[in-house]
Structures are given as C-alpha cells and as structure tokens.
A = this chain, B = another copy of it.
Amino acid sequence: MAYQPHDSSRHDNTLAVIRSLREQGPVARVDLGILNGISSATVTSISADLLQLGLITELPPDVQRPSGRGRPKTLVQLAPEAACVICVKLSINELQLVVGDYAGQLQHSEHHSVATLALTPDALAALLEEKIAAVRTTALASHRRLVGICLAVQGVVSSHSGTLIWSPALSFRNAPLSAPLADRFDCPVLLENDANCIASVLATKPAYAGYPNLAVIMLGYGIGMSVMIDGVPFLGANGSAAEFGHSKYQPGGALCACGKRGCIEAYASDYALYREAREVLELPAGDSAHPSEQQMQALTQLAMQGNPEAQRIFAEAGRALGYGMANLLALFNPDLVLVTGSGVRGYAAMQEAMQDAIDEALVSELIGPTRIVSCPWDRDMTCLGGIAITLQASDSSLLSGR
C-alpha cells in the first residue's frame, strides 16, 4: 500500500518551528510549542528530525542565565552554515549584493556604482552573473550550499515568470532575468519588488504585529508600495506589487517618469521635488533628473530651516500624498500605513499637508481606525527582506532532503 499522507500538518508544523527560530533566534522546545500551538511532544519529534538534517543545533547549556528552579531550558537555534542565499538589490545607479546565512543574518554586503540606465539587456545579464559568481565563491567557503538567489528591484515585476516588466532603473522593459541565472547557478532565483521585501521584514516586527492589513509606502527616487494581508504580500493579477506611486492625484497634472500625467509620484518623489525646487531655489549642481542623496538632503534642509519656497513644494507633495492615501484608505482600508524609504527624510515637511488633504478628501467614517506612521529608513532592509523571503521559499526543499 503506497501510502500518501492526507494531511500536511507535520510539514506545516516543521516550517512553523523554523520560522519561529528565524524570527526569534534561539528558543527552547517548550516555548516553540507555546509559540506555535503544538504540544512539546511534537516539538521534540520535529527537533529530532531537524537536528538529524543538520538544520538546527542545540545551544551549549553553560551560556545561559540562571533560569530559576526546575530543569533548565535547552535552547535550539538554526545552524547558520546549513545554507546561504544571495540577494541582489537593483536600484537606480546602484547594485547591492549581500549574502545571508540560514539563520537569516547578513554575512556579507557590497555596493557597486553602476550606470544602470545605460545597460543593455545583455550587459545587465552579464553583470549580474559576474557579481553573483564572485560572492557565491566566498559564500560557499563557509556554507554548505546556496539555496536561492533573490533579485530585489524597484518597479513592476512578474514574480511568477521571473520577468522584470518595468523598472525606473533600466531603459528597457520585459527582461526575463530569473531563468538564465537559475540555469547558471542551479538554484531558484526569485524576482521580487523591493517594497515587498521591506514590507516582509516590517510585518514580522513586534511593533507592527497585530495589524493584519498593512500598507508600506516607500518614498525615494520613485514611490512604491506593498500591501501585506495576514503577513503575506498581496500580489495582484500579474504578480506585481501595488503601484501606489502611479495612482492619480490630478488628471492631466504633472508629468511622471512613467510618461503619464498626474501620478502621486510626479509630485512627491525625489525627482519631482527636485524638479520643482531647482526652478526657484539655489541647490547643489548635479544630475537634477536623478538627484543624489546629498542634493535631496540640501533641499530637505531648506524646508526644515523655514524656507517658504521649499516648504511650499513639500506641502504640495504632501497634499498629493494625502490624496493618494485617501484612495488607499477608500479602496484598501488598511489597519496601518507605514511610510518609509529614503524619502522619509522629508516626511515631517509633508505630514501636515498630507493629513489636511486626507481630511479634505474623506469623511471620517471612511478614514476609520487606520493609523499612518513613518518608519526610519535602513539601507539594508530591502536585502534583509529578500533574504527572509528566499530562505522561507527554500525551506520546503531543504526538508525533503533535496
């Protein structure tokens, strides 16, 4: 009788244990049981399997703080060297490569300045292959195997097909990036939107737990968004992220990088702010269509110091953002909206106008209980999210031995 189990509970519980360990670090078996609502007998059995596979190790007991009465807990933790993943973040004029270990920790990080808009499809493919090959060599020196690669990019992606549909960092479209890399490096290659990566990290933070519907808005050179529903990113029809930046503020309004008019991004992104500002303000020289962090900080500084022209520009951006939020609240009605990305540097200068615009646009019944909060920006967050997503995707195959 070739028996086929009807019930995936063992598999599910095993994944849940791994996820707990990745989120919490070392945990005792009892606590794994409580955390995941399973009996400690089951945790014992699952831990035995994972120890056997070499995916977890027991922590030596000596290190522990005196635990009071009773038998002391034996903590188990993920074995960092059990596997590794590589995450590549592609953004405008920059390529970041990081290596993450099986515990989800960042092991290596490097940044490269690249004129991304000048790349041809072939040049991009060659560049990715070269850079990934290099970090892979160093990564494999200390890890058993490479279980996945994540490409985290700004723009519209089709995760399912591994095709980058459209990115502000590139001058071409519809690039099938995943397949050739998967062939070359013999492992799954995930293509993810950068906002989804960040949202995946934020959604697991204790401070933002308890908000089943979470929207994360990324301000920066462009404006992106990810919506998490019950901890998983919501992907629409083509598997791409929600494009908050190209929702509309004003029909026929300001010109957007997408070629259309009136998008939120055409008012509140870095390039939009700088485009307005350079007309009327003295600002650092440079490529004003792709303002650098220094250029943006100079502009933000002016607004913070009370320059009325700068303040007017940020207020208008805030108003556009507010109208975008109003639509987001009317259509999605999230519990919490987090605003982050490098553009949060100017959030304080936009916030009041944003709030006024929301109140102007929506009756309070429709605003409902939604909270809107900004969140400090960390350059590595995207890659940490990419690592987490890739590890989680690899767990199933790691369990099945292959």
Contacts and interface: CB of A to CB of B under 8 A. Distances in A.
Interface residues of A, number: 50
Nearest to A173: B365
Most chain B CB within 10 A, of A246, A248, A323, is at A248
Contacts of A91: none
A237 interface: yes
Interface stretch (A24-32, A277-285, A300-308, A331-339): A331-339
A234 B259 CA distance: 32
B243 A330 contact: yes
B330 A360 contact: no
Given A229-B229, A251-B323, A366-B156, A237 B331 contact: no
A260 B365 CA distance: 12
Interface string A252-269: 000000111010000000
Contacts of A221: none
A4 to B, nearest CB: 10
Contacts of A311: none
A1 B15 CA distance: 29
Contacts of A326: 247-248
Contacts of A180: none
Interface in A306-340: 323, 326-328, 330-335
Contacts of A362: 246, 260
Nearest to A244: B331
Closest 10 CB pairs of A and B: A236-B333, A238-B368, A237-B335, A247-B330, A166-B365, A243-B330, A247-B327, A237-B333, A258-B363, A246-B330
Given A236-B334, A244-B331, A248-B326, 20 more contacts: A6-B9, A7-B7, A225-B331, A237-B369, A238-B369, A242-B331, A242-B333, A243-B330, A246-B330, A246-B362, A246-B363, A247-B327, A248-B361, A249-B251, A251-B323, A258-B366, A260-B362, A262-B361, A327-B331, A332-B332
